[in-house]
Amino acid sequence: MNEDFQHPDITQDMLKEINEIISTNKNKSGASITVLRNSQNIVGYLPVELIDYISKGLNISSSELFGIASFYSLFSMIPKGKNTIRICLGTACYVKGIKEVMERISNQYKIKEKETTPDRRFSLETVRCLGACGLAPVMVVNQDIYGAMSSDRVLDVLDRYK
């Protein structure tokens, strides 16, 4: 394995962990998604160079691994902001007005789905049903779940995340 792999967002410790993940999964069939997931958990996203690096480690073609990473919406190849806003676009939340909440956020911070603010304060993501439909409309900021979200409350909530 190429030990002098370097990337501004990946520290030596991160790389060590990633190398371990690669070597434990190397000969397992069907491990590529697991390796990508765990690596993304460590770095926060999947830099293109890292995917290349992992493909060498797993001994599969890098185009195949890119194909996998782009197929699944879990994987992101661009860096995330400090705070991740996840908006539930499931049916229950939609019926109860999540679209207006989403629009307020987009207007205020000038970001669209899957984008990050230039100051990297917020990333905006959408999910399809968090399984908390009883609380619809639902928004999650980092690990905090907010139920009964409304367009007139959402900006106050986001104000707490600097």
Partner 1 sequence: MNKIRTQLMLCGGTGCHSTGSIAVKEAINNELRRHGLNEEIQVIETGCNGFCALGPVMLVHPEGIFYQKLTIDEVPKLVEEHFLKGRPYKKLQYVDPASKETIPIMNDIPFFAHQMFWVMRNKGIIDPEIIDEYIARDGYFGVAKALKEMTPDQIIEEVKTSGIRGRGGAGFPTGLKWQFAKASPGDVKYVLCNADEGDPGAFMDRSVLEADPHAVLEGMIIAAKAINSRQGYIYVRTEYPLAIKRLEIAIRQAREYGLLGKDILGSGFDFDVEIYQGAGAFVCGEETALMRSIEGKRGMPRPRPPFPAHKGLWEKPSVLNNVETLANIAQIIVNGGKWYASVGTETSKGTKVFALSGAVNNIGLVEVPMGTTLRTIIYDIGGGIPKKKKFKAVQLGGPSGGCVPEEFLDTPVDYEAIVKVGAIMGSGGAIVMDESTCMVDMARFFMDFIQDESCGKCTPCREGTRRILEILNRICDGKGEPEDIETLKELSYTIKDSALCGLGQTGPNPVLSTLRYFIDEYNAHIFEKRCPAKRCVALLKFEIDPEICTKCGLCFKSCPSDAIEWKKKEVAKIDKSKCVKCLTCFDKCRFGAIF
In eight-state DSSP terms, residue 26 is T
| Residues in Cβ contact with 154 at an 8 Å cutoff, skipping those fewer than 6 apart | 101, 104, 105, 139
Q: Does 135 bind partner 1 (CB under 8 A)?
A: yes
Number of residues that bind partner 1 (CB under 8 A): 45
Q: Does 68 bind partner 1 (CB under 8 A)?
A: yes
Q: Cβ closer to ligand FES: 46 or 136? A: 136
Among residues 35, 54, 138, 149, which is the contact residue for ligand FES, using CB under 6 A?
Answer: 138
Q: Is the dihedral of CA 123, 126, 131, 135 positive or negative?
A: positive
Which bin fits 114, alpha (ψ -120 to 50), beta or left (φ > 0)? left
Residue 96: strand, helix, or coil: coil
Residues that bind partner 1 (CB under 8 A): 29-34, 36-37, 67-68, 71-75, 89-97, 100, 103-104, 107, 127-136, 138, 145, 147, 150-152, 155
Residues that bind ligand FES (CB under 6 A): 88, 90-93, 129-130, 132-133, 136, 138
